[in-house]
Chain A
Amino acid sequence: MGQPATMAARAQRNDAPWLTLKMREAMEAWLFLSPTLAGFLIFFVAPLVAVLGYSLTEWNLLSQQATFVGLANYDDALMRNADFWHVARNSAVFALGLVPLNMALALLLALALSGRFRGVVVFRTIFFAPVVTSAAAWAIVWKFQLQGEAGFINQVLAGIGITGPNWLREPNWAMAAVIVTRVIKMVGLNMILYIAALQAIPRDYDAAARLEGASGLQIFRMITWPLLGPTTLVIMVITTIGSFKVFDHIYLMTGGGPENGTLVLAFYIYQQGFEFFNVGYASALAMIMFVIVMALTVVQLALRRKDT
């Protein structure tokens, strides 16, 4: 019994004796990191570099000819082509509508559903189910519900004496409609994150505060909300990023219309690249979007750091 064990120990000790413990540990660390690192390089860094390269060319997919044009595509997007600013504005409106609405609703739902009571799991499931529903199915169903007169929503409104607009045919209403339907689809995810964060707050805080005379509102404002800070930040960042990337939802509900009223950045990039085959221009747009999202994330993180 004893002998094999000692042999194993000796074998290990003699194995590559020139390596110091520190080098061994470093090698091990890199080995463990390598799968993720490989994925990161292949699926993130490489495409990013490629897109950066494309964005400096005039490349039409049809003619299969790429010519180097320097920053012309960027100049085009930012200085000459009014489309870009229109689309960027749409994206901003979409994000400014979606992010606060989504977060507020998620927090309210989480506050209501973080406790333990009969049927709470059923409610959580109901609000989370849309998250795992196919985006295409979701968009198409809502497209029908929001039809002019025949749509379910307007029939309900008619039932209480309100004449609803033709939601998806008027630019402002269409924007509101895609925002709200997107919020309903995705709010469950943030709700779950908030529920997890709420449940992580020790119950004694609440008891102690109540004993000291704090009202429910004061407890929320002075204790719960500050303690939710880190979660709120994460939710804000991922929701903002998500809102800039929204494509399928809008593609299927409005096709970017009416009057390009819901044409957002991600959709515009798709149009330029795969409908008009302006790969160089689309790549420049993609880089711009990358920088915008990156900048927003950094700003959000910095604001948060200053708070604490």
Chain B
Amino acid sequence: MSSLTLSGIKKRFGKVDVIRGVDLEVEDGEFVVFVGPSGCGKSTLLRMIAGLEDITSGELRIGERVMNEVQPARRGVAMVFQSYALYPHLTVRDNMGFGLKVRGVKPEERASRIAAAAAILKLDALLERFPRELSGGQRQRVAIGRAIVGEPDVFLFDEPLSNLDAELRVHMRSEIAALHQRLGNTMIYVTHDQIEAMTLADKIVVLRDGIVEQVGTPHELYRRPRNLFVAQFIGSPKMNVVPLADVELPPGLVAPANAVSIGMRPEHLAITNPGSGIVSGRVAIAEYTGASSLLHVELDSGAICLVVHQGDEPQAGKRIDLRIDTGNLHSFGADGTACGPPTGHPRS
């Protein structure tokens, strides 16, 4: 088991800077999730940790050791690929045993380690099958099993669930969480699905264009996003951001001097009596989703504000006022950085 330290890591493909200076500490046994939009460099960063891409500049340490020039196989990492990368001509058993075989592990030990991993992942009945004879979820488990048998210090996952259907994804997500609890290894997990990130992570790293936008626990990112990008990336449906001018702050409350917009999460907004809300507008669309409804409220300025509404949905076209607990307000400056919640003592 190991900690990881990335300092000033950069990656350049030809003339393009893909990773533009990443500093990160990963503690021993931590579950860290890299999240960010497509093309932001998540996979690249992960492959650099694995040693599949070389590091243009900066330093990578795993444990105490500088790993920049160490061969992938000597870094004590195992990786689960988005494509699973199971060898199609080998059975599940041989796929899982491949790494042990090439490293010269004795057949008896190989067999026992495969059996142990298969037991953890409930693969015992599938060991003689070929990958083409497995379902998506089973393939996924084999890919994880192949990583486990090598007894790595660090597990790397590159969007391991993105090829699965929604239901299976939720199931495998909990299996991975359980696996982390059971093994206690350091795990780094890449996804662009913020729900996966929130549910799995001890620590989330939000990336954009090769730069770390924010690092923190799921709570920190949700409650105190450092800028507009993180605010809107974490949380679903995404945070409403409306110009300060459209908002009527409760009496006594003032936005920070440099704030130009106010952020409000849809799940924090609620319908209130006319005239007493922070914003008001007309219900444009009401989407019924079962447990709740998603209201698209058109403010007087024309901006759309999303509201998660419990109970009977108001009719489209109806004017409503919306309220929010002041502790749930966010404000952002002109450059998008968060500038703290509005302050003061609301009179009520």
Residues of A bordering B, CB below 8 Å = 202, 204-205, 207-215, 218, 222-223, 226-227, 229, 308
Task: Identify the interface centre among B77, B78, B99: most chain A CB within 10 Å of its CB.
Answer: B99
- Taking CB atoms, residues of chain B closer than 8 Å to A212 are 73, 78, 98-99, 102-103, 146, 150
Contact of A207 among B77, B85, B98, B103 (CB under 8 A): B85
- Is residue B83 contacting chain A, with contact meaning CB distance below 8 A? yes
- The 8 A CB mask of B34-62 against A (1 = contact, 0 = none) is 00000000000001001110000000000
Cβ–Cβ contact A211 & B77, under 8 A: yes
A202-B85, A205-B85, A227-B89 are known contacts. Are A211 and B102 too (CB-CB below 8 A)? no
On whether the beta carbons of B83 and A211 are closer than 8 Å, the reply is no
Q: Return 10 A-B CB contacts under 8 Å, by A number.
A: A204-B81, A207-B81, A207-B85, A210-B52, A212-B98, A212-B102, A212-B103, A214-B98, A214-B99, A218-B102
A211 pairs with B88, CB closer than 8 A: no
Candidate in A202, A208, A209, A210 with the most chain B CB atoms within 10 angstroms: A208
A191 to B72, alpha carbons, bound, how many Å? Answer: 31
Interface Cβ pair total, 8 Å cutoff:
60
Size category, B interface = 20 to 34
CA distance A211 to B103 in the complex (A): 11
Whether the pair B89, A211 counts as a contact (CB closer than 8 A) is no
Contacts of B79-118 to chain A: CB distance below 8 A: 79, 81, 83, 85, 87-89, 98-99, 102-103
Residue of A with least CB distance to B52: A207
Q: Which of B182-228 contact A (CB under 8 A)?
A: none
Query: In the complex, what distance in Å separates the CA atom of A207 from the CA atom of B51?
Result: 9
Let me know if A214 and B85 touch, CB within 8 A. Answer: no
Is the CB–CB distance between B102 and A204 below 8 Å?
A: no
Min CB distance B235 to A, Å, is 32
Beta-carbon contact of A211 and B50 below 8 Å? yes
Name B51's contact: one of A208, A211, A308 (CB within 8 Å). A211
User: Which residues of the partner chain B approach A209 to less than 8 Å between Cβ atoms?
Assistant: 87, 98, 102
Interface on chain B toward A: helix, strand, loop, or mixed SS?
A: mixed
Give the complex CA separation of A223 and B85 in angstroms: 12
Asked whether, in the complex, the Cβ of B102 is within 8 Å of the Cβ of A223, the reply is no
- Expressed in whole angstroms, the minimum distance between the Cβ of B78 and any Cβ of chain A is 7
A223-B50 Cα distance, complex, nearest whole Å? 21
A226: nearest chain-B partner, CB-CB: B89
B102 touches A202 (CB 8 A): no
Closest A residue, CB atoms, query B84:
A204
- By beta carbon, the residue of chain A nearest B150 is A212
Q: A207-B52, A211-B99, A213-B99 are in contact. List 12 more A-B contacts (CB 8 A).
A: A207-B50, A207-B79, A208-B81, A208-B85, A209-B87, A210-B52, A211-B51, A211-B73, A212-B99, A212-B146, A213-B103, A222-B98
Contact residues of A: prevailing secondary structure: helix
Q: How far is the CA of A189 from the CA of B162 in the complex (A)?
A: 39
Q: How far is the CA of A211 from the CA of B149 in the complex (A)?
A: 13
A222, B102: Cβ atoms closer than 8 Å: yes
Point out the residue from A208, A214, A215, A227 that lies within 8 Å of B88, measured CB to CB. A227
CA A3 – CA B237 in complex, angstroms?
47
With both beta carbons as reference points, the residue of chain B lying nearest to A308 in the complex is identified as: B89
**Which residues of chain A have C-beta atoms less than 8 A from B83's C-beta?**
202, 204
B85 lies within 8 A of A213 (CB) = no
Q: Which residues of A contact B74 (CB under 8 A)?
A: 213
Q: How far is the CA of A202 from the CA of B131 in the complex (A)?
A: 15
Set of chain A residues within 8 Å of B98, measured between Cβ atoms: 209, 212, 214, 222
The interface residues of chain A lying within 8 Å CB-to-CB of B85 are 202, 204-205, 207-208
Using Cβ atoms and an 8 Å threshold, which residues of chain B touch A227? 88-89
A208 to B47, CA, bound (A): 11
Chain A residues closer than 8 Å to B81, beta-carbon distance: 204, 207-208
Closest residue of chain B to A219 (Cβ to Cβ) is B102
Contact B72 A210 (CB under 8 A): yes
Say how far B84's CB is from chain A's closest CB, in angstroms.
8
List residues of chain A with CB within 8 A of the CB of B77.
211
Interface string of B10-53 (1 = CB under 8 A from A): 00000000000000000000000000000000000001001110
Residue contact A215 to B87, C-beta cutoff 8 Å: no
Across the interface, which residues of B come within 8 angstroms of A211, CB to CB?
50-52, 72-73, 77-79, 99
Chain B residue numbers with a CB within 8 Å of A213 are: 73-74, 99, 102-103
- With A and B bound together, what is the CA distance between A46 and B88 in angstroms? 43
Residues of the B chain whose Cβ atoms lie less than 8 Å from the Cβ of A208: 79, 81, 85, 146
A216 to chain B, nearest CB (A): 11
A204 and B86 CA atoms in complex are apart in Å by: 9
Kindly state the separation between the CA atoms of A308 and B83 in the bound complex, as whole angstroms. 24
Identify the interface centre among A212, A214, A215: most chain B CB within 10 Å of its CB.
A212
By beta carbon, the residue of chain A nearest B82 is: A204
Alpha-carbon distance between A210 and B78 when the two chains are bound, in angstroms: 11
Q: For B52, what are the chain A residues with a Cβ–Cβ distance below 8 Å? A: 207, 210-211
Chain A residue contacts of B47, Cβ below 8 A: 207
How far is A208 from B52 in the complex, measured between Cα atoms in Å? 9
Asked if residues A214 and B89 are in contact (CB atoms below 8 Å), the reply is no
How far is A167 from B293 in the complex, measured between Cα atoms in Å? Answer: 88
Contacting residues, chain B, for A226 (C-beta < 8 A): 89
A214 with B102: in contact, given A202-B83, A204-B85, A223-B87 (CB under 8 Å)?
Answer: yes
Contacts of B99 in A (CB 8 A): 211-214
A211, A215, A308 interface centre (most CB from chain B within 10 Å): A211
How far is it, in angstroms, between the C-alpha of A231 and the C-alpha of B324 when the chains are bound? 66
Given the complex, which residues of B lie within 8 Å of A229, measured CB to CB? Answer: 89
A227 to B87, CA, bound (A): 9
In the complex, chain B residues whose CB is within 8 Å of the CB of A214: 73, 98-99, 102
**Which B residues are CB-close (under 8 A) to A222?**
98, 102
A211: nearest chain-B partner, CB-CB: B72
**Are B73's CB and A210's CB within 8 A?**
yes
How far is B153's CA from A51's CA once the two chains are assembled, in angstroms?
A: 71
CB distance from A15 to the nearest CB of B (A): 43
Measured in the bound complex, the distance between the Cα atoms of B59 and A182 in whole Å is 54
| Cβ–Cβ < 8 Å partners of B102 in chain A | 209, 212-215, 218, 222
* Bound CA–CA A223/B89 (angstroms): 8
